[in-house]
Amino acid sequence: MTYRAPAEDHRFILEHVVDFAAVAGTDRFAEATPDTAAAILSEAAKLCDDVLAPLNQAGDLHPSRLENGVVRTSPGFAEGYRAIAAGGWIGLAASPDHGGMGLPMALNTAVNEMVSGACLALQLKPLLTQGQIEALEHHASDELKALYLPKLISGEWSGTMNLTEPQAGSDVGALRTKAEPLGDGTYAITGQKIFITWGDSDITANVCHLVLARLPDAAPGTKGISLFMVPKLLPDADGNPGQANSLKVVSLEHKLGIHGSPTCVMQFDGAKGWLVGGPHKGMAAMFTMMNNARLGVGAQGVGVAEAALQKAVAYAQDRVQGPTAEGVPGIIGHADVRRMLAEARAEVFAARAIALACAVAIDMGNATGDAAWQVRAAFLTPIAKAYGTDTGCRVADTGVQVHGGMGFIEETGAAQFLRDARITAIYEGTNGIQAMDLVGRKLADGGEAAFRLIGEVETLAAAARARLPDLANDLWQAAETLREATEALLAQDLNDRFAGAVPYLRAFALVLGSAFHLKAALADPARAPLARVMIRRLLPEHAALLARSRQGAADLYALPPEALAG
């Protein structure tokens, strides 16, 4: 059994669940008609099924390697990347001013998810480039845009993001990389960065690094950080790659998963760089790229979950172990196996819908300038990232369990999904940080954005009572419990909120995901059984999760470190 990209599920969600028609109804995205969207999803699915999915295991078995200072990529990755670039997929949502298609983020998110399911290790390369494109579009000078954007959009060059240092991970403000003015408008960048995804390769003609560094007069902390474009090869007068810049790959990390994706330790020794945005404005520019990446990473989690689930279902249908209910062949006839697969499918749909809803909010904010859409997009981003990646880990783990002992054997391929998915819950801000962002900054408006979403869920549930009363009533009550828990969190101090942030985020995701399932069932009665799995089996977790979210932090700090050590 091979991976099949879920283009039809994306089409259904866009048309019937997250109101993509509103995006297509704007002047900016008027070309994103239903026919155009369907054609894009169909073509992307063909690329995933025929070209990219066959590379997934090869990347795992034959990792990227560093030879004489050059990263050599996994077999077939160069051809796969060129197929992505030749199809215009890197610039799907990029501005037409520099060669992009200018299509909605919702379509880009759907495509990125499918490509992730096909081969996550390779998908990371265009994803980082897409984030760099958006950062340059918003913050770079016209000269930098003209030089870099066409080559990044075409895939001729690729982009990276350089934040983390050995002593500065999530605490970006502790970074030490320096930027010294050279007197000609350029800067000498010196320092070391770690965990740089696709920091080098033998696939593209140039690798363009966005690097966070401090100017000599910089204030301490994040307020003193600037952002610089530092290419591997310095462009010549004609914009072509010229002499080598003063940077190198020191080593590649040996990782649990995504072996085909080179994760580099980068050393910059007076490398020439160009300021992106204003001095000391680096975090604003970098967050443009990171917010893009956070939604993209959430979609990565969903993509891996989809691939792992497809493999688990195929195995469960073929594997025979004992008599099953009603003579259904394969272990898929056993109630507990059916439970695992059904709950996994329900969460994949929920996480996919949340990611697409976030993308639609981004599109509507960009197309209309309406602050309410922008606030909604910001609120949904940490939920999409954390719930999407948690779903990736959860479903991949379930896939191993469905395989039983064979899931623990590498040759079956089930374990690779679990190993690959695990990083997604860590990078672009760990899921704990996403949850703290949700209960901190995202509730700083007094909960207005949260209450607006909760109100919409309650309105949907109330309207659905005539057709699906059991599901509608359960959802309405869950939304009301979420409202009460949100009010309780708002009355707590920040550290007490942080102690309950992770269960609160999952509870919010379960409520939103259940609402999207209910909308799907109203649009297509054939989807009601899956909605019932989500609302009757998974949604009840929300009560326990919200009870945990309200406990505060005192009991956690009552345990001294030595007690935690055992």
* Residues ≥6 apart with Cβ < 8 Å to 410: 416
pLDDT tens per residue across span 35-93: 999 999 999 999 999 999 999 999 999 999 999 989 999 999 999 999 999 999 999 99
Torsional class of 185: left (φ above 0), alpha (ψ -120 to 50), beta (otherwise): left
Only one residue has tokens 């269960």, namely 503
Q: What are phi and psi of 67, to 5 degrees?
A: -130, 115
- In this prediction, residue 285 carries a pLDDT of 83
Distance between start and end Cα atoms, the chain: 46
Mean pLDDT of 467-476: 98
Q: What are phi and psi of 535, to 5 degrees?
A: -80, -35
Domains (range + CATH), the chain: 158-284 (2.40.110.20), 432-555 (1.20.1270)
CB 248, CB 160: distance < 8 Å: no
pLDDT tens per residue across span 346-389: 999 999 999 999 999 999 999 999 999 999 999 999 999 999 99
Alpha carbon distance 222, 117 (integer Å): 35
Alpha carbon distance 307, 326 (integer Å): 28
Catalytic residue among 165, 306, 347, 428: 428
Burial of 371 (0-12, 13-18, 19+ CB in 10 A): exposed
| Structure token pair of residue 482 | 């979420």
SS (H, E, C) 474-519: HHHHHHHHHHHHHHHHHCCCHHHHHHCHHHHHHHHHHHHHHHHHHH
Whether 239 has a pLDDT exceeding 90, the answer reads yes
Gyration radius from the chain CA atoms:
24
Whether 226 has a pLDDT exceeding 80, the answer reads yes
pLDDT tens per residue across span 416-458: 999 999 999 999 899 999 999 999 999 999 999 999 999 999 9
- In this prediction, residue 1 carries a pLDDT of 54
pTM above 0.95, yes or no: yes
Only one residue has tokens 């008609």, namely 33
pLDDT tens per residue across span 393-403: 999 999 999 99
Mean pLDDT of 14-26: 98
* Residues ≥6 apart with Cβ < 8 Å to 541: 506, 507, 510
* Helices vs strands, H then E, count in the chain: 20, 11
SS (H, E, C) 24-67: HCCCCCCCCCHHHHHHHHHHHHHHHHHHHHHHHHHHHHCCCEEE
pLDDT tens per residue across span 526-536: 999 999 999 99
**Is 428 among the residues known to form the active site?**
yes
Torsional class of 552: left (φ above 0), alpha (ψ -120 to 50), beta (otherwise): left
| Structure token pair of residue 460 | 């949907």
Whether 291 has a pLDDT exceeding 80, the answer reads no
pLDDT tens per residue across span 519-564: 999 999 999 999 999 999 999 999 999 999 999 999 999 999 999 9
User: Of all helices (H) and strands (E), which one includes residue 149?
Assistant: helix 142-154
